[in-house]
Amino acid sequence: MNREGAGDCCDMRGMLGFLILFLLSKKPMHGQELAGEIANRKGEKKPSPGTIYPALKSLREAGFIVEEKDGKTIVYSLTERGENALKLAKRKFVKTFFGIFPE
């Protein structure tokens, strides 16, 4: 069944990398913290490890984030390259969805 069939026309598939960059730009976080924040915002359960860590790896390989070990966890934060990418992506996002936020 496709996403419209379930009465859900907005699963936001494909926005995960963008959302992660945005969240990390506000505050460096470790993986599970990030997953919790995403769950909160989307009103869903936490994205699975198989979702969040490959996404982080992909962002790291693109040079958008760096990792820093902090005890048992790894804190992720944006690189300058990541900030630039986010800035561009935000511009596109705002342009695309202009008018969608309530006044």
Partner DNA sequence: TTATATATATCGGATATCCAATATTAATAG
Partner DNA sequence: CTATTAATATTGGATATCCGATATATATAA
Q: Counting contacts by CB under 8 A, is residue 50 touching a second copy?
A: no
Q: Which of residues 40-69 bind DNA (CB under 7 A)?
A: 47-51, 53-57, 67, 69
Q: Counting contacts by CB under 7 A, is residue 12 touching DNA?
A: yes
Looking at the DSSP bridge assignments, the partners of residue 74 are 69
Q: Counting contacts by CB under 7 A, is residue 89 touching DNA?
A: no
Interstrand relation of 73-78 and 65-70 (parallel, antiparallel or unpaired): antiparallel
H or E segment and range at residue 77: strand 73-78
Q: Counting contacts by CB under 8 A, is residue 43 touching a second copy?
A: yes
> Least distance in Å: CB of 35 to DNA?
8
Rg (the chain; Cα; Å):
15
Q: Counting contacts by CB under 8 A, is residue 10 touching a second copy?
A: yes
Any idea how long the chain is?
A: 103
